Amino acid sequence: MELRTKKTTVMGLAKTGVASARFLAQQGARVTATDMRDETALATVLSELAGLDIRFVLGHHDEADFTAADLVVVSPGVPQEHPLLRKATEAGVAVVSEIELASRFITAPLVAITGTNGKTTTTTVAGELFRANGFSTYVGGNIGDPLIDLPASGEPVERAVAEISSFQLEWISSFRPKVAALLNITEDHLDRYPSYQAYINAKLRIFENQTADDFAVVNRDDELVWQAAQSLKAQLFPFSRRHELTEGIFSREGELLFRHHGQELSIPTAGFRLQGVHNLENIMAALACCLLLGCQRETSLELLNRFEALHHRMEFVREVADVRYFEDSKATNVGSVAKALESFENITLIAGGKDKGGSYAPLAELVQQRVRHLVLIGEAAERMQQELGDLTATHKAATLEEAVQLSADLTAPGGVVLLSPACSSFDMFKDYEERAQRFITAVKRL
C-alpha cells in the first residue's frame, strides 16, 4: 500500500486513531485527523501528535474530508452505519480499520484472537509462549498497544499476536492472519449491533481472507462456533474440554493432548497457575496457536507452570473467616459470568451495573445450582432480579461497598464471594478497573 502524498482521513482520536495518524504522517501521507471533541478535551492527544504534519478538524466533521479522501481510517468506536462513512464508500473511497491498515505492513506470521470472552488472557498467554520459545514477538491489538505500532516501530519481529474485537473487524478487506482463533460467542454489544446475528457475523470475519495454508483454531464445545467453522477455507484446528479429537487439542484427566498430522504431545495440567474451566480453554487455544507455529512442548509447559492470572479476571483477593473473595470485574457479559460460576460452589455472587441489552436467562441453571446468595447493584439490578431473582436468595445494595459487607454477612464458612457483574461499569464507575479496585479495597477493609 503506497501512502506517500495520499489524502487520508483518520476518524476518531482515541488510542488507535492517534497511532494511525502518527503512522500515516510518518509514511508521508497528507493526514487529516477529525474528532467530535474539541481542542480542550483533546489537549493530551494533540501534544502526542505535536510536530507531525497533520491537519486537525475538531468539534465537528467535514463531509469533504470523507468524500474527497483516498483513504479513511476509522476508529473501532465509530458505528459502521455512520452517515459520513456511508457517503465515503458511496464516493468510492476506501474505508479501513486500523488492523486492516497495519496488516498491509506486517510481514511476520500473525496470530489473531477473537471471541466474546477470554481474548485478553489467551492473547497474553500466546505472546508469552512465543517469547519463552525464543521468538521475538509483538503483542497488541485490542489489548495494550495498537497493531499499527508494530510497522510504525520499524522493528523486525518473528511473531505477532493480536487481540481483535468485533468492532475492529467491521472494516477489513484483506486482513489475513496465519492463525485465527475464535474462542466463543455469546450475546454481547447488542447496544451496538442491530441483532445477535450481526454481532456473530462481525466476529466470523476474522477467517474471511484465510486460505488452506492458514489455521482456524475454534472451540469445538461452542455449538455456534463449531457450526460456523464448517464452511471455513482454513485448516480447522479445534480445542475441547468435552470431546476427544483426532486433530486438535483437548482436555483429558490431568493432561492436555495436542494431536496434529498423526503426532501427539501430552501436557500435564497439575502445575498450571491459571485456574478455572475458562482458563483451561484459554490455555488450549493459546497452545494450539503457538505449537502450530513452531513452539516446543517442554518450554511451553515451563511457561504455563509459572504464568499467573491477569488482573481483574477471576483474581483471588483474600480469605476472611474461611470465605474466599474473587474479583472478576472484566466479566462484563453473561458468557464470562457463566465460566466463573462453573469454577466454584457455594457462591455469593455480586452482579449488576450498566445493562448491555442481552438476556440473563443463560445464567439461570448455574445460579440455581451454585449461587446461594445473589447481591445486585447498579442500573441493571431490577431487570436481573426479574430474570434471576426467583432462583436463589436475592438482595440489593446501593453501593459496591455495601454489597461487599452484605456478602460477608450472608456467606457461610467455606463459601466464595465473587464479583462477576455481567454488565459494564459505566453507571457507577469510570471503567471495570475502577470497579475492581473499589471491590478489592472493600474486601481488604473487612
Radius of gyration of the chain (CA): 23
Set 15, 61, 119, 356: catalytic member: 119
Please answer whether residues 367 and 394 qualify as being in contact, where contact means their C-beta atoms are separated by less than 8 angstroms. Answer: no
Please answer whether residues 291 and 248 qualify as being in contact, where contact means their C-beta atoms are separated by less than 8 angstroms. Answer: no
Residue 267 and residue 298: Cα distance in Å, rounded? 9
Set 189, 278, 339, 356: catalytic member: 189
Set 117, 133, 142, 184: catalytic member: 142
Q: Tell me whether residue 312 is one of the annotated catalytic residues.
A: no
Residue found by looking up cell 441493571 in the block: 380
Q: Tell me whether residue 142 is one of the annotated catalytic residues.
A: yes
Sheet architecture: strand order including 54-58: 54-58, 30-35, 7-11, 71-74, 94-97
Q: Tell me whether residue 354 is one of the annotated catalytic residues.
A: no
* Number of other residues whose CB lies within 10 A of the CB of residue 392: 17
Please answer whether residues 375 and 442 qualify as being in contact, where contact means their C-beta atoms are separated by less than 8 angstroms. Answer: no
Please answer whether residues 377 and 399 qualify as being in contact, where contact means their C-beta atoms are separated by less than 8 angstroms. Answer: yes
Residue 399 and residue 383: Cα distance in Å, rounded? 17
Amino acid at 209: N
Residue 98 and residue 105: Cα distance in Å, rounded? 11
Measured CA to CA in angstroms, residue 36 lies from 33, 80, 94 at distances of 11, 16, 22
Active centre residues (catalytic): 119, 142, 189
